[in-house]
Amino acid sequence: MNRGLRVLLCCAVAAALTACAQSDNAQNPIERSVVRIVNHSQRGDWYSPWISQAPSYSGGSGFVIEGGLVMTNAHVVSDTRMILLHLGDDPTPHEARVKAIGHDCDLALVEPVEPGLLDGFPVMAFGGLPKLGSSVETYGYPVGGQRISSTRGIVSRIEKATYAHSGADSHLTVQTDAAINPGNSGGPVVQDGRVAGVAFQALAEMENVGYFIPSEVIEHFLKDVADGNYDGYPDLGIQVANLENPAARRASEMAPDQSGVRVEFVYPGSSADGYIVQGDVLLAVDGYPIANDGTIALDGLRLSYELLLDRRLAGESVPLEILRDGERRQIDVPMLVYSPFNAYRRLYDQMPRYYVYAGLVFVPLNTEVLVALGENLPEHILYELYFRPIEEPLAVRREPVVLLRRLDHAVNGYMSWYRDLVVDRVNGRTIESLEGLIDAIESNDGSYDVFEFAYYGRLGVLDRRAAESANDEILEIYGIPEDRRL
């Protein structure tokens, strides 16, 4: 998950932009198509989930595509309260809204509220994957001014890499030395007059290393949203290991002319579940033979075989060739979106779910909760989120619930343990979701509410009647408008 180098998303804090009024010269069609986007956003607070963080605003870029839409990065328009488009030298900002957004691929479509606003603007078309060493130009509104800026660079690397916006997804990425700075996000990267990609992130530790999302990923996004919904990338749901060691290939009963990767784990309920088993060797995807290091030869490059899976939409099948017990098999695997992986992603465009009972704050466990807890994260939280699904795949909780903190009150003040605890059982019922926890509490007619926490055998007890009668008072004291958001 951690790439070792800090990736910067390239949207700019608009406050850093300096106002300057200049007359605009005649622009080329590409420049006319590129727009400046200001997003007034507001995120939830995952530590005090009933409140919102202070509104903020940031700037990015976008470009006009067919259908009167603007394409940009998801991170440019995430958590929006209001989007304003700045079109060329038009001094009037125009309100817009998100038409579609894909956080796992960091792409979004924005449409102006005013119908036909973009009529007459040049529409940018998409090209293919640029060649290594070829030149590209970036267009956008990086920090330092309000006028469009373009820079030229060389395509220096093409590979699968992590998309920092979600923090958990990897797709095809193109690296360039064209300057990609805060504010460039969402702007087009152009080659031969066509969009080769969308600028989106840079490496903080390296100079002149920027990344753009290639047209292959963009096309996937556009196909996905064609029906009006974004389903997201499906996932095969397996872990694999390379088979570069000859002994490992023999152990997998591979012939000398065979190559591939060994399946180490199949996530229950994933696309592969029922089709692939641990120990299978994945020989080919979509007809492309997989090398022992997990790469395929594609468009003159050696790239991760997973990029072929990336080309599928949810619901489509992918043909695989596998080796099981020395026998080749051809299988078609329907590709599904594997929702448990959502817990590993940063969350946007949604407010945190929570439930406050007798001053105890319960939330579903996800990456945002980890971020809210910051350093010194308890090891059992780490285990529950990341390792339990692979250590104990059949016992994994559908939605782990955490007792995040306590709002002190006489009714709960003596509890020994009251923060950063994974809830195992409440009133005798195993907890699989926040809703399940609420039901276990609200359906209890016993004298006590009994909370059993996972790991270390911790136990918490409340006097039920006292807890129920204290609820409203605690909510009022701590300024919590509602006891839950589901």
Partner 1 sequence: MREPGAIQKSFGWVAWLTISLCVAAAAAAESPYKDKIVALRVTRQQFNEDRPWAKVNPEVRDGTAVVISKELLLTEASMIQNATFIQVEKNGRANWIPARLVHQDSAINLALLTVDQPGFFDDLTPAEIAKSAAARGVVHSVRWKERQLEVSNSRPGRVEVIESPFGSVHHAILRLSTDFSGGGWAEPVFADDKLIGITVTQDGQTATVIPAEILEAYVERAAGAGGEGGYRGFASIGGLRWQTNTDRALAAYLGLEGEPRGIFIRQVPWGSTGCPSLRPRDILLELDGHELDASGNYNHPLYGQLRFDHIVVEGHVPGDVVPARVFRDGQFIDVEIELRGYPSSARLIPWRRAESAPPYLVAGGLVFRELDGRYLNIWGTDWRNSAPNQLRYFFDLLGNAQSPERRRIIVVSQVLPAAYNIGYHGVANLLVRSINGFEVDSIADVERAFQQPRDALHRVVFYPNMTIREVVLDRATFEDATQAILSAYEIPERLRLPDGELPELGPECPAGTDSLLGIQ
Rounded to whole angstroms, the Cα distance separating 426 from 438 reads 9
Q: Which stretch binds partner 1 (CB under 8 A): 116-124, 171-179, 294-302, 449-457?
A: 449-457
Stretch 37-76 residues interacting with partner 1 (CB under 8 A) = none
- R_g of the chain, CA atoms, integer Å: 25
What are the C-alpha distances in Å from 457 to residues 414, 423, 425, 451? 18, 11, 11, 11
Rounded to whole angstroms, the Cα distance separating 102 from 91 reads 30
Residues 6+ apart with CB under 8 A from 113: 94, 95, 96, 97
DSSP states of 162-175 as a string? Answer: EETTTSSEEEEEEE
Q: Which stretch binds partner 1 (CB under 8 A): 131-139, 294-302, 339-347, 371-379?
A: 371-379
Rounded to whole angstroms, the Cα distance separating 167 from 201 reads 12
Q: Does 416 bind partner 1 (CB under 8 A)?
A: yes
Minimum distance of partner 1 from residue 147's CB (angstroms): 44
Minimum distance of partner 1 from residue 432's CB (angstroms): 16
Which of 56, 239, 342, 433 binds partner 1 (CB under 8 A)? It is 239
| Closer residue to partner 1, CB minimum distance, 227 or 257 | 257
| Beta-ladder partners of 374 | none
Minimum distance of partner 1 from residue 318's CB (angstroms): 23
| Closer residue to partner 1, CB minimum distance, 210 or 460 | 460
Pick from 164, 217, 169: nearest CA to 195: 217
Stretch 123-182 residues interacting with partner 1 (CB under 8 A) = none
Q: Does 255 bind partner 1 (CB under 8 A)?
A: no
| Closer residue to partner 1, CB minimum distance, 311 or 388 | 388
Backbone angles phi, psi at 23, to 5 degrees: -75, 145
Q: Does 432 bind partner 1 (CB under 8 A)?
A: no
Which of 157, 160, 380, 425 binds partner 1 (CB under 8 A)? It is 380
Is the sign of the CA dihedral 429, 432, 433, 435 positive or negative?
A: negative
Whether 165 is a known active-site residue: answer no
Q: Does 344 bind partner 1 (CB under 8 A)?
A: no
Please list the alpha-helical segments (H only) found in 423-462: 434-442
Which of 414, 442, 473, 482 binds partner 1 (CB under 8 A)? It is 414
- The catalytically annotated residue of 33, 61, 78, 185 is 185
Which of 47, 288, 344, 383 binds partner 1 (CB under 8 A)? It is 383
| Closer residue to partner 1, CB minimum distance, 379 or 442 | 379
Which of 47, 57, 448, 478 binds partner 1 (CB under 8 A)? It is 448
Q: Does 454 bind partner 1 (CB under 8 A)?
A: yes
Answer yes or no: are the C-beta atoms of 62 and 34 closer than 8 Å.
yes
Rounded to whole angstroms, the Cα distance separating 429 from 325 reads 42
Q: Does 264 bind partner 1 (CB under 8 A)?
A: yes
Residues 6+ apart with CB under 8 A from 477: 407, 409
| Closer residue to partner 1, CB minimum distance, 129 or 238 | 238
DSSP H or E stretch at residue 323: strand 317-324
Q: Which stretch binds partner 1 (CB under 8 A): 143-151, 152-160, 212-220, 237-245?
A: 237-245
Tokens of 81: 């309260």
Which of 135, 156, 242, 342 binds partner 1 (CB under 8 A)? It is 242
Size of the site for partner 1 (CB under 8 A): 47
Tokens of 373: 């807890």
Whether 75 is a known active-site residue: answer yes
Residue identified by tokens 């010269």 is: 25
Q: Which stretch binds partner 1 (CB under 8 A): 94-102, 195-203, 314-322, 455-463?
A: 455-463
Q: Which stretch binds partner 1 (CB under 8 A): 75-83, 230-238, 257-265, 301-309?
A: 257-265
Answer yes or no: are the C-beta atoms of 368 and 345 closer than 8 Å.
no
Q: Look at phi and psi of residue 286 and say left if phi exceeds 0, alpha if psi is from -120 to 50, else beta.
A: left
* Structure-derived torsion over alpha carbons of residues 349, 3, 202, 187, reported in degrees to the nearest 10: -40
Q: Does 247 bind partner 1 (CB under 8 A)?
A: yes
Which of 16, 206, 459, 486 binds partner 1 (CB under 8 A)? It is 459
Residues 6+ apart with CB under 8 A from 77: 37, 39, 60, 83, 98, 101, 108, 110
User: Letter for the amino acid at 445?
Assistant: D
Answer yes or no: are the C-beta atoms of 63 and 187 closer than 8 Å.
yes
Pick from 273, 283, 286: nearest CA to 329: 283
Q: Which stretch binds partner 1 (CB under 8 A): 191-199, 207-215, 307-315, 408-416?
A: 408-416
Q: Which stretch binds partner 1 (CB under 8 A): 134-142, 151-159, 316-324, 389-397?
A: 389-397
Q: Does 282 bind partner 1 (CB under 8 A)?
A: no
Q: Does 476 bind partner 1 (CB under 8 A)?
A: no
| Beta-ladder partners of 175 | 157, 211
- The catalytically annotated residue of 41, 48, 61, 75 is 75
Whether 106 is a known active-site residue: answer yes
- The catalytically annotated residue of 41, 48, 79, 106 is 106
Q: Does 391 bind partner 1 (CB under 8 A)?
A: yes
- Which residues participate in catalysis according to the annotation? 75, 106, 185
* Residues in contact with partner 1 by the rule CB under 8 A: 239, 241-248, 250-251, 262, 264-265, 292, 375-376, 378-380, 382-383, 386-388, 390-392, 395, 414-417, 447-448, 450, 454-463, 466
